[in-house]
Amino acid sequence: MGSTGRTSAADAAADGERRNVSDAAGVVVLGVCATWSLITAATHDGRPEGVLLAVLAVAAGYASGRICGALLPVAAPCTAALAGLGLAVAAPHTLPGPQIATPPGHLGAVAALLVLATGSACCAAWAARSPLLRLALRALAAGITVASLVLGPIAGFALCATVLLCSLAADHMRSRGVGLAGLALATAVVTGTAWAVAEDVLPDGLADSLEGQLSGHRVGLWRDALLLAHRDPALGVGPGRFAELSQTASQALPAESRPHSAPLQQAAEQGVVGVVLLAAVFCWVLYALWRTPRPTPVALTAGAALTGLAVLATVGNVLSFTTVTAGAGLLAGLATARPLAYETPDTTTTRARERR
């Protein structure tokens, strides 16, 4: 009995230390992102408000997720999933822009909300103890996936389905580190491919195929972003200045204010450091999921959903919508929260000890 108590105390101390490290890393990374946007804005007379709002939304969402996930480990992600679905359904009335038709950027935001909603429903299912409730929550995730066929682009459906399948397979993954490393690699491949398209270094056949899927206008925006990045690789041209300096953006009606790619926007407006900081935020989230005391299926499910968001952000402007950035922070917080009701990370041995 005494040995069990000492083991539990040691495990709790180790968990607390891991959480402190990941939380401190998050504070530093988000703080540096905000500071760097102010530095580049002051250098080039830019407008850092968008970046600062995104950082604030992620931080607020993460803190809310940690609190709600600790108090209501099942109800909180379930509510988040329903809220994400509701926002996606009402997107033309809740997202800024013309109400007559949903612009392409808004379709990407709808897809992002549905991907996050699917991940939240799957996380709630893994946290549920009742088999019937778990089945109902997985049915909710499947329903959101089906709804994505109607509400968003086909890419949103593909990503929602991928998150659902990854969640179902996560229980068979012995090492969460391997799974999270695979998600990081997938994100790097998508980002590298987008960069290669913008640099026009791919073989002709592959390049023509990808440009046909992406549209020539979007590729033109990407190439303008790279030209601006080459102009000042260290500091970029300043936050919020892409629209006034891009020829492709000025020819669009209405004028595009962003290049529809978060990494390329960072490169153009905040230089190489901005790209590194964007990657650091994603790596911090994966690190927090790796160190979380939650079960591996919860960590991998949240990681899959956030990777889906990263893919959409690489080929769209989804991070420009506060609902999306706040939702991403919320899901990360829910998946890294430690429920007040004790929960075993990966095995049943601790539950058996607790019962004894």
Residues 142-177 pLDDT 10s: 999 999 998 888 999 999 999 999 999 998 888 899
| Cβ atoms of 242 and 268 closer than 8 Å | yes
pLDDT tens, position by position, 279-289: 999 999 999 99
d(CA 234, CA 243): 20
CA distances from 234 to 224, 259, 269, 271 (A): 17, 19, 10, 5
Q: Which pLDDT value is given to residue 14?
A: 56
Q: Which of 11-20, 86-95, 344-353 has the lowest mean pLDDT?
A: 344-353
What average pLDDT does this structure show over 180-190?
96
pLDDT higher than 80, residue 32: yes
Q: Which pLDDT value is given to residue 106?
A: 75
- C-beta atoms surrounding 310 within 10 Å: 28
3-state secondary structure of 249: helix
Q: Which residue has the higher pLDDT, 13 or 272?
A: 272
| Cβ atoms of 332 and 285 closer than 8 Å | yes
pLDDT confidence bin for 96, thresholds 50/70/90: very low
pLDDT tens, position by position, 234-255: 999 999 898 888 887 777 656 5
| Cβ atoms of 271 and 235 closer than 8 Å | yes
What average pLDDT does this structure show over 44-54?
93
Q: Which of 48-57, 104-113, 228-237 has the lowest mean pLDDT?
A: 104-113
Which residues 6+ apart lie within 8 Å of 272 measured at CB?
229, 233, 234
pLDDT tens, position by position, 303-317: 999 999 999 999 999
pLDDT higher than 90, residue 69: yes
pLDDT confidence bin for 349, thresholds 50/70/90: very low
Domain count within the chain: 1
What average pLDDT does this structure show over 87-115?
67
pLDDT higher than 90, residue 227: yes
In angstroms, the first-to-last Cα distance of the chain is 8
Whole-number mean pLDDT of the chain? 86
Instruction: Find the domain containing 194 and state its range.
Output: 2-95+103-355
d(CA 77, CA 163): 15
* 170: DSSP letter: G
What average pLDDT does this structure show over 263-277?
96
What average pLDDT does this structure show over 208-234?
88
d(CA 273, CA 267): 8
